[in-house]
A and B are shown apart, each in its own frame.
Chain A
């Protein structure tokens, strides 16, 4: 995969990297696996896999020490939302800004 002329090593530069929402800076998960399109020549990375979610390569905006994406339809915060709704939101002060 080449981003702006930079040569990237998929295993070294993609696998296990932190996924970040480009717009909000929210931490969204890790790159657990990558999907390759072997029909193309040379083969290209067609998507990143995080948990059970598939992030199409088009939504990957920046690859640095973390991978910035536009989540769009992909819901990566299901676990966090569940815990938030059922436990954390029930505790007073859960919505307080950290001053």
Chain B
């Protein structure tokens, strides 16, 4: 049983990349508009994040250095600061959206407006960060988030024409009124979300929190190769449900209620209850992941003491950063901005942050001073370079496509 719990860091990390509030809606929206025609992007994203999360995990296990240490060491103070600002803003915007997402899940369950829930959600996130042990937090929210597997059950229960879904997945191009521009925009949105930078910040810092050493390389690897593919699977199941229920009748997905509806249709009230708990756990888990990542990045850039492995007073600036971020989240949500829309704008900052995050990881993964015998082999380096190229293309194309397609509309 201990072995099962040992992979929850990977699962919780993957939840932030594949099924956080922005992704829940994007996955369903993509399913409703393109069917399974963008599935290949999810597969591409899973391979990419596995590759780089494994590099960052190995670096932590062998040298004890988390990702943002490496970013500053290899990019220097100035470029490192650009990377810090860009990735911090992506993470903060996502955190704001997640707090809104937790509040929206409560609105769906209670009927009470999400604006009332938002401050409570932020307070709850802070309390968990302040008091709950890292390994407990990762186990509870990692496992609870897995309830989203109910989407896969619902898809099977809906009795779709599997041949049709496979046909869509193997014909990767837009159909109907959709243009190549919107198709490409959503491809980049899905790819960027799968490789969103706070995943490697959280995963590598989590490795330090768990006190990984060389002996934990197997744990590190199973976290990566179980966690992220599971996240990808959930993401495909959500798109599949929307492809079956909404695509044929041409309904657009815009709200969280529409994302969860296919489960209610397939599995009734019990299904709806499970999916709501799953959505709550996934958004709450992603809120923990992003708020901790806000603290990790800033503290690691400046060299401050960080981490939940010490008392809060010993890492006071780290905790202060997270408190300020959560307060900012409440204030932003009170302006009644749509939480789902907030994640769309984070794409702009992700575009800058992506290459600046992954280049230093690839360089250090080849440095025997850090990794000794665990340096990258040729296959990993070739794949790493290909993905760096893809990330660069995605980051250059993201903003123009966002403007041309008016953010996918």
Contacts and interface: CB of A to CB of B under 8 A. Distances in A.
B44 to A, nearest CB: 32
B320 A88 contact: yes
A83 B370 contact: no
B269 interface: no
Interface in A54-82: 64-66, 77, 79-81
Interface residues of B, number: 33
A30 B72 contact: yes
Contacts of A65: 63-65, 369-370
Contacts, number: 85
Contact of A16 (B77, B133, B305): B77
Contact of A96 (B131, B134, B306, B309): B131
A16 B310 contact: no
Interface in B119-137: 130-131, 133-134
Interface residues of A, number: 33
Contact of A84 (B306, B313, B370): B313
B308 interface: yes
B73 interface: yes
Contacts of B37: none
Interface of A: 13, 15-19, 26-30, 32, 50, 64-66, 77, 79-81, 83-84, 87-89, 91, 93-99
Given A30-B303, A77-B305, A80-B304, 17 more contacts: A13-B369, A18-B303, A26-B314, A29-B303, A30-B302, A65-B369, A66-B64, A80-B305, A80-B317, A83-B317, A83-B320, A84-B316, A88-B312, A88-B316, A89-B313, A89-B316, A96-B131
Interface of B: 63-65, 69, 72-73, 76-77, 80, 130-131, 133-134, 299, 302-306, 308-317, 319-320, 369-370
15 contacts: A15-B76, A19-B303, A26-B305, A27-B303, A30-B72, A64-B369, A65-B63, A79-B317, A80-B305, A80-B315, A91-B312, A93-B312, A95-B311, A95-B313, A96-B312
